[in-house]
Amino acid sequence: GEDVEQSLFLSVREGDSSVINCTYTDSSSTYLYWYKQEPGAGLQLLTYIFSNMDMKQDQRLTVLLNKKDKHLSLRIADTQTGDSAIYFCAERVEDTGRRALTFGSGTRLQVQP
């Protein structure tokens, strides 16, 4: 199966850390991505992780991958009001030849001032 699941909503206070979680079912996933979508806009690629990595850090963003549990998370340090958006995780499975992304349902992050 290729279902990718996320919790629907997360609310945090400005300055706190946010952790957005994602679970996927296809163990053949090669790359996993995090995208951000602000209201009425397209998707912005935030970061990605290769399936043979456990962690990747990029400024305020930390991605953790637990391949055994098929669990992916995105941690945003020092969350700002500008981080309010919907966050999608996505997986790509190379060996199917699809080369396309399967998106999770999206998590709406609300940052309270």
Partner 1 sequence: DTEVTQTPKHLVMGMTNKKSLKCEQHMGHRAMYWYKQKAKKPPELMFVYSYEKLSINESVPSRFSPECPNSSLLNLHLHALQPEDSALYLCASSQKGGQGVNEQYFGPGTRLTVT
Instruction: Tell me which residues touch partner 1 (CB under 8 A).
Output: 31, 33, 35, 40-45, 48, 50, 88, 92, 94, 98-101, 103-106
Work out how close the CB of 64 gets to partner 1 at its nearest, in angstroms, rounded to a whole number: 18
Work out how close the CB of 41 gets to partner 1 at its nearest, in angstroms, rounded to a whole number: 6
44 vs 81 by CB, closer to partner 1: 44
The candidate with the shortest Cα–Cα distance to 106, out of 33, 2, 7, is 7
Question: Using an 8 Å Cβ cutoff, are 90 and 33 in contact?
Answer: yes
**DSSP at 60:** T
